[in-house]
Each structure stands twice: as structure tokens, then as C-alpha cells.
């Protein structure tokens, strides 16, 4: 199936996001994608009355469907109706939360090409309204996860736009961001970090 952005550019998928690491017997969820881990974490938060955070659906226009039999339809071609903003949004303790989640197999840096101009612009607008905005970054080969406030991401993005590094070093993320220890339930307890740094 081919998904296309407005204008016809083919969407190649978030390849790094779908890569899975080795399974560790100590964690039943180990090896899941960042998105799967966050969706499970958000469901835990919702069920326990901690926060209401959802993954944003991406509006898609279906243009070609095959009907091999009456009971089954196969989507062959679709277009994103508009560029996506960030992955997740919701509310925690009366404050609007908006964040993007990305992962990489790189060991020492996080490529800024993983982000898109429209996502950066969206984060600027969210910050301008006083909301909580950040990115969750996973180094999948190391199974390390960090929360980085969007203001830091914007600074690294500006550096790139000015001809500087095209990535954030892991050391920079460690210095500016906040390590999220992994657990079982919830798997990625980012709200604990949010509570610590924003409240």
C-alpha cells in the first residue's frame, strides 16, 4: 500500500521506529516499538486516573481500494490529507501536554532529520501558548529513553538551520534532557518526569 503526502510525495514510513531490539526476559514488553510502549503507558495512565493522553490520528484520504472478495477490502493507495503535527496530546493536572516521540539506532547522536519543519513550527506555537511541550527520544540499541523539552529541540534545530550540526549528540541530550527509567507498568513513566520538571 502506498501512502502519499499532499503534493504526491511518497511516504516511506518511520523505518527506525519499527525496528525492534532483542527481547530481555526481565521485561515482558521489551522489544516493542516506542509507539507501542507509549500507547500502553498512556492506557495505564487513563485507567488509573493519572492523565488522559492520546495518539493523534493522522487524517488519510483513501483513493484506491481493491475488493478481492465481498467481505474484504484492501487499501492500495492513500494520501495524508495534511502534514502531521506531533504524535501525542492530552491533559495532566489541568495542563495541556503535546509531544513527539522518535527513536534511533544511533549510539552517540540523534539525527534532526527525524523531525519535520511543520512539527517544529507546531511545537513553537504550542510553547507560545504556555503549554507543556517536549519530545521523547529513544536510543533503541541502548534501550535508553529521554524526555527533552521542546525549547531545547528548537535550539538544536536553529543550530542546524544556521549551518551547524545536523544532529543532537547523546551527551547534549543527557545534559539538557531527563532520563526516563523503564519499568513494567507503566513501561515508560514519562509523567513522573513531567511532574518533576513542570510542576
Handedness of CA 80, 81, 85, 87 (dihedral sign): negative
Residue 172 in this model has a pLDDT that exceeds 50: yes
Residue 156 in this model has a pLDDT that exceeds 70: yes
Instruction: Please indicate, yes or no, if residue 49 is contained in any of the structural domains.
Output: yes
Rounded to the nearest 10 degrees, the angle between the axes of helix 34-47 and helix 190-198 is 70
Instruction: Please indicate, yes or no, if residue 164 is contained in any of the structural domains.
Output: yes
Range in 2-6, 84-88, 183-187 with the lowest mean pLDDT: 2-6
Instruction: Please indicate, yes or no, if residue 143 is contained in any of the structural domains.
Output: yes
> What is the tens place of the pLDDT at every residue in 101-113?
999 999 999 999 9
> What is the tens place of the pLDDT at every residue in 12-59?
554 333 333 333 333 334 446 899 999 999 999 999 999 999 998 766
Instruction: Please indicate, yes or no, if residue 40 is contained in any of the structural domains.
Output: yes
pTM of this prediction exceeds 0.85: no
Burial tier of 41 (Cβ tally within 10 Å: 0-12, 13-18, 19+): buried
CATH code for the domain in which residue 186 is found:
3.40.1350.10
Instruction: Please indicate, yes or no, if residue 62 is contained in any of the structural domains.
Output: no
- Which domain does 53 fall in, by range? 18-57+83-198
Count of structural domains within the chain? 1
Instruction: Please indicate, yes or no, if residue 90 is contained in any of the structural domains.
Output: yes
Summarize the confidence of residues 132-140 as an average pLDDT: 97
Share of the chain above pLDDT 90, in %: 68
Amino acid at each position: 500500500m502506498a501512502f502519499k503526502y499532499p503534493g504526491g510525495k511518497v511516504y516511506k514510513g518511520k523505518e527506525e521506529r519499527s525496528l525492534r531490539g532483542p527481547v530481555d526476559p526481565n521485561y515482558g514488553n521489551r522489544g516493542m516499538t516506542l509507539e507501542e510502549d507509549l500507547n500502553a503507558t498512556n492506557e495505564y495512565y487513563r485507567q488509573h486516573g493519572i492523565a488522559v493522553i492520546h495518539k493523534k490520528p493522522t487524517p488519510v484520504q483513501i483513493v484506491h481500494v481493491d475488493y478481492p472478495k465481498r467481505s474484504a477490502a484492501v487499501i492500495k493507495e492513500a494520501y495524508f490529507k495534511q502534514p502531521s503535527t506531533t504524535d501525542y496530546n492530552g491533559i495532566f493536572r489541568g495542563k495541556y501536554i503535546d509531544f513527539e516521540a522518535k527513536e534511533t539506532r544511533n549510539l552517540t547522536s540523534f539525527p534532526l532529520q527525524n523531525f519535520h519543519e511543520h512539527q517544529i513550527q507546531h511545537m513553537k506555537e504550542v510553547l507560545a501558548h504556555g503549554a507543556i511541550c517536549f519530545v521523547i527520544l529513544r536510543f533503541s540499541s541502548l534501550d535508553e529513553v529521554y524526555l527533552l523539552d521542546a525549547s531545547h529541540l528548537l535550539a538544536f534545530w536553529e543550530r542546524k538551520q544556521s549551518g551547524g550540526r545536523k544532529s543532537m549528540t547523546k551527551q547534549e541530550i543527557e545534559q539538557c534532557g531527563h532520563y526516563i527509567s523503564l519499568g513494567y507498568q507503566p513501561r515508560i513513566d514519562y509523567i513522573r518526569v513531567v511532574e518533576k520538571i513542570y510542576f
